[in-house]
Structure 1
Amino acid sequence: MGRAAGRGVAGNVDRARGRSRLANGADRMSWTGRQLPERGEVFLDHVGYFVADLAAAGAQLERLGFRVSAVNVQTNADASGALKPSGTSNRLAKLKFGFIELLAATHDTPLADQFRQAIARYSGLHLIALSAEDLGKERVRLMAAGFAMQEVVELKRRDRTLPGEPEVHFSVLRPQPGAMAEGRVQWVRPHTPEIVWRPETITTENGAEALTDMLLCVDDPAAAAARYGRYAGRAPVTRGGLHAIALDRGGLVFADAAQAATILPGFDRPGLPFMAGQALRADLAKTRAVLARTGIEPVFACNDAICLGPRDALGGYLLFHAPQVSDPWDVLRNP
């Protein structure tokens, strides 16, 4: 796959064959300039950091130039419609497309117990959320593909940071605990995008515009890519010598420890498998200005990319890249 991102290319998705096929017949990472997926599309919606301290984590993201929300207590609607704490609370750094989520355990529930088990391994990226139009249909497909899935839950809360405290509503589909060894890999459908992505809440200072890629470090990249391909309903592809899943917006890339060491400066794995880093499409002039002002030193920088290491990016690698780059991690190997 080339490093120049294609624009305006229509993607025809064939979910029955588990394949994302572009009009020119090439499998590649693609980009759709739309917030919500339609007609069988699958987007990389957001990623999440598991942290011990939401205040400290939020302050660090603000140092990196992100606009971070106040703390939201997450709730589920029970059978009667009453809202009950899910066990975790979050803060969001919203982008023009997608968002970054900070999560901490704040209540005693089974979900919070799962969180505490995960963060005992390492603090950092633990969550990938894919989005689709109909989570009920996705659940049927996933069960047929051999994945143990929970029921779809309705996450609702009042956004008390906005006038009138409007209700925010997401449908969420999670696998059973342990089904995905790499972390919490779930599905989401935002029902109130006009509230979630209000213009005044979106990050602009550091130039970050959109979530594009996640890099996962695993023992067997080919096997992991095949499993994630079944999970996303997409056939694995090879990109820059790495196994990957090309979604209709964004993608997932898999590397073993040896490959990760050639990509990530100062790589020091916490134990496999784990979510090693995320990539964001950005206006790099704004990114450089923020980092210069705050005195944060990238572990890598070139004309097309700026990468922050785990020390400054909450335990994972954070790669800002220019809009024309469609293979972000390859830039680190071949600047």
Structure 2
Amino acid sequence: MADGISGIDHCIVLVHDLEAARAQMAHLGFAPAPRGVHSEHMGTHNHCVMLERGYFEVLAVRHPTERNERWRNVLATREGLAAVAYQTQDARAADAHFHSVGIESHSLVDFARPVELPEGDREASFTTVTLPPEVAPVPMFLCQHHTPDVVWRPEYLPQPNGCIGLKGAELVVSDTVSAAQSLFPAFADSELGGDARQQTITTPGGVLRITSQDGLAERYAAVPRTDHALPYVVALHLAVSNIDATEAFLASAGVATHPGPDGTRCVAPADACGAILTFSEH
């Protein structure tokens, strides 16, 4: 299934105040790229944390538009992780493929944002296609990068906290098996496994974990957090080059870490713009 999802491209952390979020991420040892301002019909702006493998962005609304209504609806109740974006080399081909297998994807959108570079201004451009709620329990879309050389700049990649990659994301739903079975047909070259407490979709480009409320309580028992109405994206799983060095950096910044699942170390949502961040080596 060449036009299916082959991995996780990035995740979106929604915030009210973009500058405050940038400062909070910098305090955690990330080096956010310069602010990006999206097309007027998108009405949003962001700071991306670019990694050797994948990235995440903190996103805020500049002015209300039809395209950002879903983000405003989330922000009416909370900040934090709000969407998972998947990898695609051709969003239009993926859209056609999904329709051919009965997945009614929609909202094929072309947009761009200007990027100031030392050699002159460029434009980062993208095409996205959104998975329908019948398939995706939380906002999910495929993102085609037309200008990856503008986005993945070498100077953006080094992170003071030693983070090198996006390993995956984690959702919380009421019925893990049903959610996973609905979503899995959209993936290519991937494996599905797990039980009622947690299902995993393992792709060549990251692992998507679909966790129950009970599974969440067990996995993050030591992490201070506030639960939200289901379903939602709860955690971002990050790879670091040296976990001891990452813990030392966070400790020097006065950021508490907590034991998490599978031997990870976690930063609580209160310290990370509403998201649980887990850190582990590679």
Fold match by TM threshold 0.5: yes
How far off is 1:64 after superposition? Answer: 0.5
Matched, 1:68 2:27: no
In structure 2, the partner of 1:238 is 194
| Cα distance in 2 between the residues matched to 1:173 and 1:193 | 18
Render the CA deviation track for 1:4-46: whole Å, top value 9, x for unaligned. Answer: xxxxxxxxxxx2xxxxxxxxxxxxxxxxxxxxxx886612110
| Cα distance in 2 between the residues matched to 1:101 and 1:180 | 24
* Aligned-CA RMSD value: 2.4
How far off is 1:248 after superposition? Answer: 1.2
Count residues in correspondence: 278
How far off is 1:94 after superposition? Answer: 0.7
Identify if the C-alpha distance between structure 1 residues 237 and 301 changes in structure 2 by more than 3 Å, giving closer, same or farther: closer
| Structure 1: unaligned runs, 5 residues or longer | 1-14, 16-37, 76-83, 324-335
Q: Decide which of 31, 56, 64 is 1:100's aligned counterpart.
A: 56
How far off is 1:304 after superposition? Answer: 5.1
Give the alignment's TM-score, normalised by structure 1.
0.76
Percent identity for Structure 1 against Structure 2:
26
In structure 2, the partner of 1:287 is 246
| Cα distance in 2 between the residues matched to 1:302 and 1:189 | 32
How far off is 1:203 after superposition? Answer: 3.4
| Cα distance in 2 between the residues matched to 1:236 and 1:93 | 29
- Which secondary structure does the structure 1 equivalent of 2:53 belong to? coil
| Cα distance in 2 between the residues matched to 1:99 and 1:203 | 12
In structure 1, the partner of 2:102 is 146
| Cα distance in 2 between the residues matched to 1:52 and 1:319 | 23
In structure 2, the partner of 1:322 is 281
Q: Decide which of 251, 264, 273 is 1:305's aligned counterpart.
A: 264
In structure 1, the partner of 2:231 is 273
| Cα distance in 1 between the residues matched to 2:158 and 2:98 | 34
Give the alignment's TM-score, normalised by structure 2.
0.90
| 1:104-115 correspondence to structure 2 within 5 Å | 104-115=60-71
| Cα distance in 2 between the residues matched to 1:194 and 1:240 | 41
- Which secondary structure does the structure 2 equivalent of 1:68 belong to? coil
| 1:178-217 correspondence to structure 2 within 5 Å | 178-179=133-134, 182-217=137-172
- Which secondary structure does the structure 2 equivalent of 1:115 belong to? helix
Q: Decide which of 30, 37, 52 is 2:16's aligned counterpart.
A: 52
How far off is 1:171 after superposition? Answer: 1.8
| Cα distance in 2 between the residues matched to 1:112 and 1:221 | 28
| Cα distance in 2 between the residues matched to 1:240 and 1:146 | 26
Matched, 1:261 2:221: no
Identify if the C-alpha distance between structure 1 residues 151 and 274 changes in structure 2 by more than 3 Å, giving closer, same or farther: closer
How far off is 1:144 after superposition? Answer: 3.3
User: Conserved in 1, the CA contact under 8 Å of 2:176 and 2:196?
Assistant: no
In structure 2, the partner of 1:296 is 255
Identify if the C-alpha distance between structure 1 residues 303 and 186 changes in structure 2 by more than 3 Å, giving closer, same or farther: closer
In structure 2, the partner of 1:166 is 122
* The structure with more radius of gyration: 1
